[in-house]
Chains A and B, each alone.
Chain A
Amino acid sequence: MKKKRGYEVQKKLFFALVVIVLLLSILNIAKAKGLLIPKQGPVDVKHKVVDLQKLTLDQKVAQMVVVVGTKENYWPWRNMQLGGIHLFARQTEHIFNNTIIDFQFQTPIPFFVTADLEGCVSPFGFIRQFTPASEVDTIEEAFEKGVEEGQFLHKLGFNLNFAPVVDLKDDIWKCRSFPGDETKISELAQAYLTGLQTQEVLGTAKHYPGKTLIVKDPHKYVVAAEIGKKDVYPYAYLVEKGEVKAIMVSHIITSGEVDSEGVPSVVSKKVLDDLRAHFDGLIVSDEIHMLGLKKFYRSVDEVYIAVFKAGNDVVLNFDKDPNEIYRMIQIVKGAVERGEIPEAQIDASVTRILEVKGFTVR
């Protein structure tokens, strides 16, 4: 009798545990797919006018984030109303195009759709080869390269390219920088940008303030470089010409002409403020999962706050886990609510982003 009762208890426990395991499995799957992330409220856009006051802080911070555009994260990225998606390689133009159409479908504020098409460095190598920057010698060739790459990107649906590289020296890749001295590189970059932007694809001069493509000490994760006047000349030139709409900032600790005061440039308020003093376009952070940046802080949460606090308008976080991206937004939101990051600074960045996307902000 006692044995039979014990068996009945085990049987009931078994069914209870099966139900619990099933429920927990469903919750885990839903979480992994980002389905537990709350959906943002609707954005009130009328006649291409956005009222900034009607955007929540979550929506504003989300607009500043560019993530990797994968089909798996289609819903979480859309629900979070992120600012942009960056696409890695795909097999065909058709797949690129379909992915972008899907993401942009009925979005009140379209995504930035970004790529790293520099010429030799390209996610399209499987589909088509482009002229490397190192083989471009004349203004005409640079302009043609810009037009050709712009046409290709525009046709697929991209609207922001993380090129051209205006580093003066490329000791590693040997193909990413334009040839010549700082004057020639600046002129070629300008021509490239003009060509690219005639095709409605914005260009990004990178990697401010320079010296990112040189061989580094293999035992250091945190890299330092002395920046000279020549290194920043291309940026000053392109800003003065009004051709560059976005500048990407690197993780290098710099001294000399641009002094990051002992921290990586991308989190240096001084570097970004000095750049902002002359440049009213988008300041884009380099991807934030680099040891050069991460090793500098005790936790990734500190990285998140530092990169926004410094004044980057667009932050590249290619973590494919939607929960982590949501967590980053909440951490930055918390820092804004605590007054650690001024909300006016977030507003200014979002205004720049929306204006570049073609909206009027009021």
Chain B
Amino acid sequence: MLSERALFIINVSLGLFSVLLVLMLLAIKFPTLGQAQYALDKEEPVCVIQWGDEATPFTDVDRCCLQARQQFECRAQSKDNLDWVCGADEGLQIWLNNKAYNYCKQQPYW
């Protein structure tokens, strides 16, 4: 049997949890750990489009994210300071560094 003190602590926790659930229901959003991590990362987002042997930096990270999202998968793979590759093994590939990939993951379509 729980002590009164333990029950009090559980009730306070449940009360706080209820408040959080109400806020969620009202669509009040809190910054996530991932967003904080992204904000603290001072690296520039980099996106590179690779078609055949040609690799072209693409500065429109939003469009880069959208095209990357349309691919079947993005997998962790390192190459020239880039950390992720999206696309099939052959054909067009979209390369992202961690900063760009984390940015993409925050987009509403990801």
Contacts and interface: CB of A to CB of B under 8 A. Distances in A.
Interface of A: 3, 6-7, 10-11, 13-14, 17-18, 20-21, 24-25, 27-28, 31, 68, 88-91, 116, 120-123, 125-126, 129, 132, 171-175, 215-218, 223, 287, 289-292, 318-321, 323-324
A320 B108 contact: yes
B24 interface: yes
Interface of B: 4, 7-8, 10-11, 14-15, 17-18, 21-22, 24-25, 27, 49, 51-52, 54, 56-63, 66-67, 69-73, 87-88, 90-92, 107-110
Given A11-B7, A24-B18, A129-B88, 12 more contacts: A10-B11, A24-B21, A24-B22, A27-B25, A28-B24, A90-B72, A123-B70, A125-B88, A129-B91, A173-B92, A223-B60, A320-B108
14 contacts: A7-B7, A10-B7, A13-B11, A14-B14, A17-B14, A91-B72, A121-B70, A125-B71, A125-B90, A132-B51, A174-B51, A218-B59, A320-B108, A321-B108
Given A89-B72, A121-B67, A217-B59, A174 B54 contact: yes
A20 B72 CA distance: 41
Contacts of A24: 18, 21-22, 25
A172 B69 CA distance: 18
B62 to A, nearest CB: 4
Nearest to A7: B4
Nearest to B24: A28
Contacts of B61: 291
